[in-house]
Amino acid sequence: MNDFTFVTPTKIYFGKNAEDKLAEVLNEFGFKRVFLLHGCGSIKKIGLYDKIIKILKSGFVYEEVSGVRANPEIGLVREALAKAKVFKPDVILAVGGGSVLDTAKSIAAGYYYDGDPFDFNLKKVVCKKSLPVGSILTISAAGSELSDSCVIQNDELHIKQGFNSDHNRPVFTIENPELTFSVSSYQTAAGVSDIMMHSLERYFGESGPYQLSDEWALDLVRSTMEAGLAALKDPRDYEARAAIMLNSSLSHNGLTGLGKAAPFVVHPLEHALSGYHADITHGAGIALIYPAWAAHVYKKDVKKFAHLTKRVFDKEGANDEETAIIGIRLMKEFFHSIGMPTSFKEVGITKEDLPNLVSLATGNGTRTVGRYPQPLEKEDVEAIFASLLD
């Protein structure tokens, strides 16, 4: 067991019509001035926007910024931050999914800092203080509602980069699974992939004996796959949507990697992809890269890959290597079955893009990626990406 410090302070209000409690929740925290942040209109379609505005008008003061896009961009953060510094909110209320939450976190961190908010992502400066952030989730995926991470895209620099800080952890999240009934099959599948990967990335790190978090990670992966298939079959399956939503929150707050170090590897590879092609959905990029990464590295730790196969798929080959390979194949088949891409062709990436992608992932060849089972060198990244051209 590694030494660690851990805190996951976010209060979760979970269940049917949980958003009706918004006034109660804000009052519980003593928040009066609310900076409302949302995306590109979907919360209006499901009637959530009107509900929230009615509550906010009933006893709070609010300012509003909308238009947060997928792969959220630093430009909007800068605009919203200027507004927030004038409005002086008690809390930023993010209504939406990971993009809105990460934008809220970026504004919250920038609020007490005089420089550019992307400095945190560029690791030029460390976040010491942040405005409180709360959320009402409308999509299950990012896990940002409990996580310490904040990933922002910089279109100008062609970089998608995150930074981690306990100051990034929201103070509350309101989770009503019914609000995700209208999420499309594609977005649901991408969400499921991302949720799975948040725990898989943590599983694939050096473990000590009795590593409870490894088993918790695999349970979460399995439960998310089962619930994902059910939600794709019936988008209004409450139990399935509820499991996906709760798993999303528990997959990225650190619990499934507690007591071990597991620097992410598939995520940074994917960030190169969606940083370069902002129209690639993050979860789809994740589902695309995982099997290619696994096939490239599994020989370095067949036991760990084999254990995954047994626990997640109840399957076993003649030996650990065979068992490991079965798991990688079944995972790829799962992603394919839920409509995720399995080759670069499907997302419009060609051989000509490869040098740029490799350069983005490796900081122009100046850094390795991840650490487990060994850091990926430039050549490894090239090989993984090249295998996706077929």
Cis peptide before 117 (omega within 30 of 0): no
317, burial (CB in 10 Å: exposed 0-12, middle 13-18, buried 19+): middle
Would you say 238 or 313 has its CB closer to a copy of itself?
Answer: 238
List C-alpha distances in Å: 344 to 114, 167, 295, 389.
41, 36, 16, 5
Closest by CA to 164, choosing from 106, 216, 206, 107, is 106
Would you say 9 or 59 has its CB closer to a copy of itself?
Answer: 9
At its nearest, how many Å lie between a copy of itself and the CB of residue 308?
Answer: 15
At its nearest, how many Å lie between a copy of itself and the CB of residue 292?
Answer: 28
The helix or strand, by DSSP H or E, that contains position 227, with its residue range, turns out to be helix 212-233
CB atoms within 10 A of CB 336: 13
At its nearest, how many Å lie between a copy of itself and the CB of residue 222?
Answer: 8
Would you say 215 or 382 has its CB closer to a copy of itself?
Answer: 215
Q: How far apart are CA 286 and CA 274, in angstroms?
A: 10
At its nearest, how many Å lie between a copy of itself and the CB of residue 88?
Answer: 23
At its nearest, how many Å lie between a copy of itself and the CB of residue 31?
Answer: 16
Half-sphere exposure of 30 (CA within 13 A, CB side): 0
At its nearest, how many Å lie between a copy of itself and the CB of residue 324?
Answer: 21
The helix or strand, by DSSP H or E, that contains position 295, with its residue range, turns out to be helix 282-297
List C-alpha distances in Å: 18 to 33, 136, 375.
21, 9, 43
Would you say 4 or 375 has its CB closer to a copy of itself?
Answer: 4
By CB under 8 A, name the binding residues for a copy of itself: 1-16, 18, 177, 208-210, 212, 215-216, 219-220, 223, 226-227, 230, 238-240, 242-243, 246-247, 250, 255, 258-259
Would you say 230 or 383 has its CB closer to a copy of itself?
Answer: 230
The rounded Cα 220 to chain-centroid distance in angstroms is 15
At its nearest, how many Å lie between a copy of itself and the CB of residue 177?
Answer: 8
At its nearest, how many Å lie between a copy of itself and the CB of residue 255?
Answer: 7
Is the four-CA dihedral 157, 158, 163, 169 of positive or negative sign? positive
Would you say 159 or 221 has its CB closer to a copy of itself?
Answer: 221
**DSSP symbol at 47:** T
The helix or strand, by DSSP H or E, that contains position 29, with its residue range, turns out to be helix 22-29
Dihedral-angle region of residue 76 (phi above 0 means left; psi in -120 to 50 means alpha; beta otherwise):
alpha
Q: Which two tokens stand for residue 370?
A: 């991840």
At its nearest, how many Å lie between a copy of itself and the CB of residue 7?
Answer: 4
Largest CA distance in the chain: 66
Would you say 8 or 387 has its CB closer to a copy of itself?
Answer: 8
Would you say 14 or 181 has its CB closer to a copy of itself?
Answer: 14
List C-alpha distances in Å: 167 to 112, 148, 328.
12, 7, 36
Would you say 5 or 366 has its CB closer to a copy of itself?
Answer: 5
